[in-house]
C-alpha cells in the first residue's frame, strides 16, 4: 500500500495521542466493540468513537459490522510496514526543492567569489562545502595533477592553497597518492567515491573528536577552546609590494600574509600576475628592485568576523600610508 506525504502525516498525527496509542495497542490483541474498549480504557464511548475514527482515517484501524454493533480491529497492512517504508513516500516537490537548492548554491557562490577568486572561506559548513565544490570544478575529471600544478590552480582562486587542498581532500572532493592528485566523482556531482566518502567522513569525525576532547579525555570548556584557538590560529594581516625605482606600492589584506607574498612573487616571476602595471614594472626593472613586506599582523578574534576585522586593519594602514598610496598599483 503506497502512501503519499499527506497519508504519512495522518499516520504520525494519529499516533501522537496517548489515548489513540492505547486503543491501537489494545486492538492489536483482538477485534473489539466500542463499548468493550470504553470499559477497558476508562473512557466514554463517544471519546473512544472519536479516536477510533482518527485511527480509521489514518489506515491504522478497520471497522466491520457484527449485527447491530461496530467492531474495530488493527489494520495489519499498515502495521506491518517498517518506518523506512512509511516515510519513503514519493516527493511531488522534488523539482521545486532542486530549483531552490540551485538558487541557494548560486547565491553562495556570488557572495564568496569576486572575478573568479575566493574572497574568504565561509565559516558555515554547508556554505564551505559549496565553495569547495566550486573550486574543485577547476580540475578535469580523470586527470592526474602533480602537487605543484594543483597548488598553482588553487592559488588562482585563493592564496591559502594548503588549507583549500586539505579541505577538498577531507570532503572527498579530491583524492591523492603520494604527490599526485585527482578529482573524485563526488566533486563531479555524481555519487561519492566508494573509497573516498567513508574515509572523508571518518576523518571529519576524528577531527571533530580531536577538537572537542582534551588530553584527559573529557570535554573541553568554552574558555579552553577559545584559549586554544588564540594560541594556534594563524595570523592574518596586511602586505605590501613596492617598486624601489618609482616608489609605487601595492597594499592588500591577506588571511595568510606569508603565503600571499610568495604567491605574488611566484606569479610575477612567471609573468602571470593579474596586476598588469605591477607586472610591467617587474619586467622592466627586475626582481631586485622590488620589496615584499608584511606590514602588520593580527590574530583573529574568535568572537569577531575575520573579514571585517581584516578590513578594519587594512583601512587603518591605508590611512597611515595615504601619501605612498597616491600612485598605488591597482
Q: CB–CB of 245/289 below 8 Å? A: yes
For residue 207, count CB atoms less than 10 angstroms from its CB and return exposed for 0-12, middle for 13-18, buried for 19 or more: exposed
- Tens digit of pLDDT for each residue in 193-216? 434 444 545 554 554 455 444 444
Same fold across 5-87 and 235-320: no
Q: At a CB cut-off of 8 Å and minimum separation 6, what does 7 contact?
A: 58, 59, 89
Reported as a pLDDT band with limits 50, 70 and 90, residue 228 is: low
Considering only residues 307 and 196, tell me which one the structure prediction assigns the higher pLDDT. Answer: 307
Distance CA 158, CA 56 (A): 61
- Residue 260 corresponds to which cell in the numbers above? 600571499
Give residue 216's pLDDT: 44
Pick one of 1.10.10.10, 3.40.50.720, 3.40.640.10, 3.40.50.261 as the CATH number of 5-87.
1.10.10.10
Residue written as cell 583573529? 300
Considering only residues 51 and 123, tell me which one the structure prediction assigns the higher pLDDT. Answer: 51
Give residue 178's pLDDT: 85
pTM of the full structure = 0.38
Annotation: CATH topology of 235-320: GIY-YIG endonuclease (3.40.1440)
Residue ranges per domain, the chain? 5-87, 95-212, 235-320
- Alpha carbon distances (Å) from 266 to 115, 271, 272: 21, 9, 9
Q: CB–CB of 116/157 below 8 Å? A: yes
Query: What number of other Cβ atoms are within 10 A of residue 77's Cβ?
Result: 11
Query: What number of other Cβ atoms are within 10 A of residue 263's Cβ?
Result: 22
CA 6, 15, 53: angle at the middle one, nearest 5?
A: 75
DSSP class of residue 289 equals: G
Distance CA 137, CA 281 (A): 34
Amino acid at each position: 500500500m503506497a502512501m503519499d506525504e499527506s497519508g504519512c502525516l495522518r499516520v504520525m498525527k494519529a499516533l501522537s495521542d496517548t489515548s489513540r496509542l492505547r486503543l491501537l495497542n489494545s486492538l492489536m490483541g483482538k477485534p473489539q466493540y466500542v463499548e468493550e474498549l470504553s470499559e477497558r480504557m476508562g473512557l466514554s464511548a463517544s471519546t473512544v468513537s472519536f479516536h477510533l475514527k482518527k485511527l480509521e482515517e489514518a489506515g491504522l484501524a478497520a471497522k466491520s459490522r457484527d449485527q447491530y454493533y461496530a467492531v474495530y480491529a488493527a489494520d495489519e497492512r499498515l502495521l506491518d510496514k517498517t518506518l523506512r517504508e512509511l516515510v519513503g513516500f514519493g516527493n511531488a516537490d522534488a523539482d521545486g526543492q532542486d530549483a531552490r537548492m540551485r538558487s541557494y548554491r548560486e547565491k553562495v557562490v556570488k557572495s564568496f567569489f569576486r572575478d573568479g577568486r575566493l574572497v574568504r572561506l565561509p565559516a558555515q559548513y554547508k556554505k564551505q562545502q559549496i565553495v569547495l565544490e566550486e573550486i574543485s570544478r577547476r580540475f578535469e575529471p580523470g586527470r592526474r595533477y602533480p602537487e605543484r600544478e594543483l597548488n598553482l590552480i588553487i592559488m588562482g582562486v585563493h592564496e591559502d592553497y594548503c588549507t583549500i587542498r586539505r579541505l577538498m581532500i577531507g570532503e572527498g572532493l579530491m583524492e591523492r597518492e603520494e604527490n599526485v592528485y585527482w578529482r573524485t566523482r563526488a566533486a563531479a556531482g555524481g555519487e561519492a567515491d566508494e573509497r573516498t566518502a567513508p574515509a572523508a567522513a571518518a576523518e571529519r569525525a576524528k577531527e571533530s573528536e580531536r577538537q572537542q576532547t582534551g588530553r584527559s579525555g573529557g570535554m573541553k570548556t568554552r574558555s579552553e577552546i577559545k584559549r586554544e584557538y588564540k594560541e594556534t590560529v594563524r595570523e592574518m594581516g596586511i602586505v605590501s609590494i613596492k617598486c624601489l625605482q618609482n616608489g609605487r606600492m601595492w597594499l592588500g589584506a591577506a588571511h595568510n600574509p606569508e603565503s600571499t607574498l610568495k604567491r605574488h612573487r611566484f606569479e610575477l616571476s612567471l609573468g602571470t600576475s593579474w596586476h598588469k602595471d605591477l607586472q610591467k614594472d617587474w619586467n622592466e626593472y627586475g626582481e631586485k628592485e622590488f620589496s615584499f613586506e608584511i606590514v602588520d599582523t593580527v590574530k583573529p578574534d574568535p568572537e569577531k568576523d575575520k573579514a571585517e576585522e581584516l578590513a578594519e586593519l587594512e583601512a587603518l594602514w591605508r590611512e597611515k600610508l595615504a601619501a605612498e598610496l597616491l600612485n598605488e598599483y591597482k
